[in-house]
Amino acid sequence: MITEWLIAGPFANEWEEDYIDFLGGEKEIEPVEGMSHLSEMAEGAQVTWKRYETEKNGIVDFQKTCDSAHRVCAYAFTKLNSNKDKRAILTLHTRGSSQIWLNHKLVHLERRPNRYPHLGDRLIYVKLKKGENSLLVKLPGSERWKFSLKVEEVKDRLYVDMGNKLIPDLRVGEGTEAWGYISVVNCTSSELRNVKLEVKENELFGADRREILKLEPGQVHKINFNVRTKRQVRSDDEPEVNLVIRVGREEHPVSLKPRVRSREEYFSTTYLSQVDNSVQPYSMLIPEEYDGSIPFPLVVGLHGANVDDRFQIRGYTMRTWCIMVAPYGRGSNRYREVGRIDVFDVIDVVKQRYNIDEDRIYLTGHSMGGYGSWQLGLFYPDRFVGIVPIEGPTYYDRFLYGRRGMLWASEELRLVQRDLMREIRPILFVQNALNLPTLVCHTTKDEDVNVFHARRMVVALRELGYDVDYIEIPGDLPGYKNHWWGTFGPRLGTDSVNMPPIFTFFRRHKRATNPKEVCYSTVSLRFNKAYWVEIDEMEKLYRIAKIHAQATGGNQVNVQCENISQFTLSLNDALVDLSASVTVDVDGVEAFSGVVPPSGQITLQSDEATRKFSPLEKPYQGLRKR
């Protein structure tokens, strides 16, 4: 660990643009103690380089030396002495964006909002020269504004990173077939070919073999491997997964020891993502009452920002009537894009491994997870029985408009940005909750997410006459003033996510599989379907498109549309009598009358001139898979 540094900061990083050179020459600088720089964040408008010596853990904590970690930036500088030219690995541990220069050359640049325990440390392969080596680290302010840096000489061609690995827990009384990974680095100046990993078979685990065809110079790669038990795990097992990683004649034996979890504890496991072939974690609570003979309800809990699935699952106490799962959601990306896919992938994997009641899948989440509950629930209302957003924001516009590129954009670009951001504002899609019971929970004095977010969603839902309950916790109660509130401890849970009314609410409801009335709105065909209604084409993308369909009886279906040029109804016997003639009116005008095709699907398309809808002659073959 590097323990002696010179540090300088804070500098005003108002727009959070990490590429601003606050030193007037980051690449060339060789600072000495007492050297000064202009900074509007410092007293006297100047900062000076000061000596900083860390504890043995090597952590440089800028929060202790600078007044603020909000929209600021700081530097650390040191010199590494080497007795010869040699190859080395720099191991950087931090949770924010970072840059590193070695001997005036940029060797590391990473921009990201947060880091998580599952991701491990960042490894940088470098070459040190004999004598002094200048090292400059730049770290923008963040919630955890600190870092540590370790230097380690490497002599082999391949470096195995024992700090960046993932292996699933084992649960007593169950077998396991999941995935793990371990990171390796090519510590040469040429390609490494045919890097092989072998899982050695032993009394508990089966064998597995993997191969990487090519590793580029300096490339860090996670090698996935299958973790498969040959029998049920016993409480007295002391399991070891023994690996051998080879490149040519070079061998690296590795022993990994999975945790053995009792049946009363939560456990973390993994699946292999089809998006990028990465190993992704999730955590579960399974009650003793579950034996697989009958389907169990599933409660999906989404974690907040800057934490992970294990933190979320620890907030719950075991319920005898349901299985609980906490997806990782790819970290702090607000359950959008690949994070959204992760949530549904986890649900699918859990359904494959356990007997889950399809009509009793519930969604809840805290903070960012509350936002995810709004987003996923309103875009996919037919996938869940009900949702419980807790302390959740209902828009993230500030994360985009708070940057210079957005704020200073041209008027035309701002209009485009405004259209794109409609997708991330749940308030615009509240009508989608017609058949989605909702409970909203918030404290009156939440210091991170204002209670306004919850109140306005509740008002909007009640104005529509929807099924919504609201629990607002008075902020003057002891322990109830913070964003994450209540008692916490092993087996106790946390009130903010674990309140009994949340689970009472869930147990009251079962999924509406064939509701007679459906409302759905969207701004994108990526989210275009709910229940028996599907939007196939929009007149204008990224404008609100709405459809309201109702099976009114007498084999009549009435539809109202806005900004939609084509849609499909998937009818069944629970909605109409398919053996008789069915009539569909769109905006008060008859658009279809006759016998529904055997598929049950009717696709209606509007005429550009008359705006009247009529059946599409060829069956629609558009976006069926969501």
DSSP for 389-426 reads: EES--S--HHHHHTSHHHHT--HHHHHHHHHHHGGG-G
DSSP for 484-548 reads: S-S--STTT--HHHH-HHHHHHHHT----SS-SEEEEEESSTTS-EETTEEEEEESSTTS-EEEE
In terms of pTM, does the model score above 0.75? Answer: yes
pLDDT tens digits, one per residue of 372-419:
999 999 999 999 999 999 999 987 655 444 444 454 556 777 777 777
* pLDDT the model gives residue 115: 44
* pLDDT the model gives residue 412: 76
> For 55-69, 209-223, 520-534, which range has the lowest pLDDT when averaged over its residues?
55-69
Q: Which residues contact 291 (CB under 8 A, 6 or more apart)?
A: none
Question: Does residue 70 surpass a pLDDT of 80?
Answer: no
CA distance 401 to 421: 10
Residue 436's SS3 state is: coil
CB-based contact 343:294 (threshold 8 Å): no
* pLDDT the model gives residue 112: 63
> For 93-102, 163-172, 296-305, 383-392, which range has the lowest pLDDT when averaged over its residues?
93-102
* pLDDT the model gives residue 84: 95
**Three-point CA angle 305, 224, 272, nearest 5°:** 60
Across the beta sheet with 177-186, the strand order is 158-166, 177-186, 220-228
Q: Region 458-464: what's the mean pLDDT?
A: 97
* pLDDT the model gives residue 624: 45
Beta pairing, strands 250-256 & 241-247:
antiparallel
Q: Which residue has the higher pLDDT, 144 or 161?
A: 161
Beta pairing, strands 387-390 & 356-366:
parallel
| Confidence tier at 506 by pLDDT (50, 70, 90) | very high
User: Which residues on neighbouring strands pair with residue 399, listed in sequence order?
Assistant: none
* Closest-CA residue to 141 (of 95, 239, 73): 73
Q: Region 53-71: what's the mean pLDDT?
A: 83
Question: Does residue 114 surpass a pLDDT of 60?
Answer: no
Q: For 182-209, give the secondary structure using H, E and C.
A: EEEEECCCCCEEEEEEEECCCCCECCEE
Q: Region 596-611: what's the mean pLDDT?
A: 91
* pLDDT the model gives residue 625: 43
* pLDDT the model gives residue 145: 85
Question: Does residue 582 surpass a pLDDT of 50?
Answer: yes
> For 192-206, 334-348, 440-454, which range has the lowest pLDDT when averaged over its residues?
440-454
pLDDT tens digits, one per residue of 209-237:
999 989 999 999 999 999 999 999 999 99
* pLDDT the model gives residue 416: 74
Q: Region 482-506: what's the mean pLDDT?
A: 80
CA distance 519 to 269: 37
> In this structure, how many other beta carbons lie within 10 angstroms of the beta carbon of residue 486?
18
**Three-point CA angle 30, 31, 36, nearest 5°:** 140
Residue 461's SS3 state is: helix
* Closest-CA residue to 284 (of 350, 333, 240): 350
Q: Which residue has the higher pLDDT, 145 or 623?
A: 145
* pLDDT the model gives residue 626: 39
* pLDDT the model gives residue 96: 75
| Confidence tier at 18 by pLDDT (50, 70, 90) | low
DSSP for 101-169 reads: EETTEEEEEE--S---GGG--EEEEEEEPSEEEEEEEEEE--TT-EEEEEEEE--SSEEEEEEEEE---
**DSSP H helical ranges for 232-337:** 309-313
Structural tokens at position 329? 């959601």
Percent of the chain clearing pLDDT 90 (strictly above): 73
Percent of the chain clearing pLDDT 70 (strictly above): 91
| Confidence tier at 480 by pLDDT (50, 70, 90) | low
Is the bond preceding residue 10 a cis peptide, omega within 30 degrees?
yes
Q: Region 244-256: what's the mean pLDDT?
A: 96
Question: Cα-flanking dihedrals φ and ψ of residue 528, to 5°?
Answer: -135, 10
* Closest-CA residue to 224 (of 210, 214, 234): 210
CA distance 260 to 237: 8
With b for 16 or more beta-carbon neighbours within 10 A and e for fewer, the 242-255 pattern comes to: ebebbbeeeebeee
Question: Does residue 528 surpass a pLDDT of 70?
Answer: yes
* pLDDT the model gives residue 620: 55
pLDDT tens digits, one per residue of 283-307:
999 999 999 999 999 999 999 988 8
CA distance 557 to 588: 11
Largest Cα–Cα separation, the chain: 90
Considering the chain, what is the average pLDDT of its residues? 90
